[in-house]
Amino acid sequence: MKWVILIAFILIIASLSSAAFFLIRDRGRTRNMLRALSVRVGLSVALFVFILVAHQLGWIQSTGIPITRTAPR
């Protein structure tokens, strides 16, 4: 599971880097930067949905701060 998330993060960073490269090289004259940023957004949304589904299926466990319920005063 950690490897899948790590690979997704690497792909997101690579897409962001390629968008920066196209911004510098093409100066906004082509659609390459737009495509790279669209891929980055798609990968980010897919990773978020994957993490939510993996948590619901029990593949990963949350380790955050436990929520305690207190009586209102």
Supply the pLDDT for residue 73. Answer: 65
Asked whether the whole model's pTM tops 0.85, one would answer: no
CA distances from 52 to 57, 62, 67, 71 (A): 9, 11, 19, 30
Kindly list the domain boundaries of the chain, sorted by start residue. Answer: 2-57
H-helix or E-strand spanning residue 41: helix 32-57
Reduce the DSSP state of residue 28 to 3 states and report it.
coil
Give the Cα separation of 73 and 44 in Å (integer).
42
pLDDT band at residue 72 under the 50/70/90 scheme = low
Give the Cα separation of 64 and 53 in Å (integer).
17
Q: What is the pLDDT of residues 32-65, one digit of tens each?
A: 888 989 999 999 999 999 999 998 998 888 877 7
Q: What is the pLDDT of residues 21-37, one digit of tens each?
A: 888 888 878 888 889 89
